[in-house]
Each structure stands twice: as structure tokens, then as C-alpha cells.
Amino acid sequence: MAQPPIAKVTPARRVAVWLLTGVTRDGETLAELTAKDSYQALVPADRARALRLATETLRYAGRADKLLKKHISKAPPDQVQNTLRLGVVEVAGLGAPIHAVTDDLVTLIGAASRTRPYKGLVNAVLRKAVADADGKWDKSPVPTLPKWLRRPLMDAYTNPKVMQMEVAHMKGAPLDLTVKSDPDGWANTLGGVALPNGTVRLNGGQVSALQGFSDGDWWVQDAAARVAVDWLRPSAGEAALDLCAAPGGKTMQLAAAGAKVTAIDLSDRRLDRVRENLTRTQLSADVQVGDVLKLPAGEYDAVLLDAPCSATGTIRRHPDLPFAKQGDGISELIALQTKMLAAAAKQVKPGGRIVFCTCSLIPDEGEVQAEEFLAAHPQFVADPTIPTGMDPDWRTPEGGLRLRPDYWAELGGMDGFYIIRLNRAEV
């Protein structure tokens, strides 16, 4: 009997399974996969749905796997496992009708000769797992981080705190906006809330359709990410250098404060995003392609280095990271951060300051970097102040600020960041 053509499968589900398999089997991130033709070929509505399905499935994969495990004696191929995960999450977690989801996914599995033998398994296991989840989904255990990441975080923060972070990761992230002015007014206009640091937080929405987007009155930026520039405190007319500038959120903060901004990134393609954002927000900066490690010494009042890192602080927004990455390359990133911070320090004039930050939860990419830098550069000292809206208890012994996903939990959390402001002596 001829198999139904793959075209009959809902495009968003088909591509969602493709995204999931690209992450879990091939080690690619969703950002990398969504740039490919297989994703871009979808109409915008299907692209949005496919990405949402894949993201939610990754966020709740651990919970889905526990339900599936009791009904599977031998692990199936990755594509089949991801199909089952998607089905469980979409029905039990998102409330989709089981018959429509099951029929669609069985058709998808049957469309390829390699997975066709698993049609019966998908049909039976999916229905049983969903039945097991009935009324219990929200009470199921919180998915845990993979061992490669959980172990070092337990050493750094203790198990109870890591568990709190895992709860924050599972809940996901709201939509945060940095506004040029009047956060309370914009929160009222957009139906959100103004956070203690001035971020406007919304429950979600189509960004480009929100009031103020086309006029460039605000830009999307997690509440924690903006703290680096808040602490740098740029003034009108100051010379400011933004290193590793893409995608441009911090560049726009600096420009909005009136600083004369030079924005540098190694990738001209990534800088295109910075240029687009500056145009939309009607802000200006000197955008340049450059290598931080090869820049001649400068005389800037304020320097910002948001260094490349493991990005482990962004899992609440990017649940693909624990699956796509296995901890490989972190030691190389740490070595690069050390070199970059030393190079960035050469851009700061006497009496100036630098803010170093990473969106990482791993102390070797934050606290340890700062400690070693201060020991090797006696002309710099940690700034004793606290950025606007931050809790003094978040200060670290060497003078930095440790932000975690479980902070402001009642308000929706924040990304994990390490941030420190380093002031250079006048002479």
C-alpha cells in the first residue's frame, strides 16, 4: 500500500521534528538551523509555529522522556524519539487534540523508508504516554540540566540553587524591552510592567506589531543584558567603545545616552543586524569590522566587552543549548576571554572605565576572570557602586555582580550574567 506523501503532514510539525533532530543528533543550535533553507522555505506563520513547537519540546524534553521511557524497551532513532517528544509536549503540555497530532506524526514517520517500521510504535506509545500524563503534566518533575553543566553549577552554587535555576529555565522567558525613555509610560501603553532597572516586561507578542517598534522607541533586550551599560553609565559626548557589539542592544544603549560610540565586531554579517537596529531606532554609531585582539591602543572614556562565552545563562530563552553543546570548547573560550579582557583594557584612558560581562553561569567565565585580571592589572579597581535596580546581595567578593535565572522569579526571572565594572586610575 502506497504511503501518504510527506506534503500531507502539517509543515510546522515536519520542520519542528527536523529542528529537534538537528539539535539533539547533529549538535546544531536553533539559531543555526533556522538560517537554513529547510526552515526559511516555510511561510512566516509556519516558521513561527515550528520554532515554538521545537523550543517547547526541548524545554520539556526531560519530562516527556520520563513518560515515554516506560513504554519503550529500546531507544528508537533520534528522529523517532523527537517525534514522540513533540507529540507528548504538544498534546500534554500545549493542549493540542491527540487524534490530530498522532495522525500527523504517524504519517510523518511513515513517509520515509528508514522510519516507516516505527509507525505502529509511534501510534501506540504516543497514545499511552499522553494518557499517563492526563492531569499530571504540571505536577511532573522539573527537567534537569545535563551532567556536563549541572555538576560544575552544583559546585559553584549548591544543588538547591541549581534546582531553582532549572525551574526558571522550564518556565521560559517573557519579552523584555529597553525603551529610550519613560519605562512606566511604555509599560502602561503596552500592557506590561516596568522592572526595577527600567526594563519594560511583556508576556509576549509579535514584536514588529507592537506600538513603538516602527518608530524605534525601544528594542528587545533581556533585563539582565542591559545592566552592563547601566553600570558603565555613559555620559553625553563621552567616547565609548562597544567590543563584540552584535546584535547591537548595548550599542543602542550607549548611543541613546548620547555617547560617541564605536561598535566593533569580528563578523560583518552580524554587524548588518547592528546597522539595521541603529537605523530603526534612529541612533548613530561608528560600526566597524575588527578583531579585539588586534586593535591599536585607544583613549576611550568607557569600554564595554561582552565577551564570547558558553551562553549558559540564556537557557531559559535558548533551551537547545544544553542539547546542542556538550561542554566542548569552554576552556578555549575562557582563554579567549582572558586575552580579550587584557586587550580591551588597553582601550581605556586614565580615569576611564571598562565593563566586562559574559552571559554565562560558569564562574570561570566570570568571577575567576575578574579576579585574575585585577591581580595582573593593578591600575584597575572594581567599582564599588551598584547598578540601578540591582540587589546588593548579588555582589561577589571580587566586586562583580552575579545575576541568575532564578532572580526576580516572581517577575519572570532574568538571564544569567556576570558583570563587573573596572575603573582605571587617573595616572
Which of 244, 309, 357, 359 is catalytic? The answer is: 359
Active-site annotation holds for 359: yes
Q: CB atoms < 10 A from the CB of 410, how many? A: 5
Q: CB atoms < 10 A from the CB of 296, how many? A: 6
For β-strands 286-289 and 193-194, DSSP reports them as unpaired
- Among residues 376, 196, 389, 225, which one has the least CA distance to residue 306? 225
Amino acid at 160: P
194/172 Cα distance (integer angstroms): 19
Q: How many angstroms separate the Cα of 52 from the Cα of each of 48, 209, 404? A: 6, 18, 24
42/296 Cα distance (integer angstroms): 45
Contact 353, 383 (CB under 8 A): yes
40/35 Cα distance (integer angstroms): 7
Owner of C-alpha cell 516527556 = 64
The H-or-E segment that residue 290 falls in is none
Q: For the chain, what is the radius of gyration of the CA atoms?
A: 23
Could you tell me where the DSSP H helices lie in 179-226?
Answer: 183-190
Cα 205 to chain centroid, rounded:
18
Beta-bridged to residue 231, according to DSSP, are none
For β-strands 300-306 and 348-358, DSSP reports them as parallel
402/366 Cα distance (integer angstroms): 8
Torsion, Cα 368 373 379 382, to 10 degrees, reads -30
- Among residues 343, 349, 357, which one has the least CA distance to residue 292? 343
Active site amino acids: 359
